Amino acid sequence: MIDPWLLERLVCPVTRKPLRYHDAAQELISDAAGLAYPVRDGVPVMLAEEARPLDRDPAAN
């Protein structure tokens, strides 16, 4: 789980838009960039090269 205070302050490093947390996948989602940033051991990895592209199927997110 990501601290809500931290989540309010984090933005996508590519678009500078807000992120949302996907608990089951342990990822921070950037809908604007179409990327998912991993959260490893409670630490967000906010590197574009570590992000994975999102599936375009909205049911998959």
Q: For 29-56, how does the pLDDT look when each residue is reduced to its tens digit (9 = 90+)?
A: 999 999 999 999 999 999 999 999 998 6
How much is the pLDDT for 56? 62
Q: Which residue has tokens 């630490």?
A: 43
Q: Which residue has tokens 């998912």?
A: 36
Q: Give the three-class secondary structure for 4.
A: helix
d(CA 28, CA 61): 11
Residue 26 has phi, psi (to 5 degrees) of 55, 50
Provide the pLDDT confidence category of residue 1 given band limits of 50, 70 and 90: confident
Average pLDDT over every residue of 3-29: 95
DSSP one-letter code for 53: E
Q: What is the mean pLDDT of the chain?
A: 91
The CATH number fitting domain 4-53, selected from 2.20.25.10, 3.40.50.970, 3.30.70.360, 3.50.90.10 = 2.20.25.10
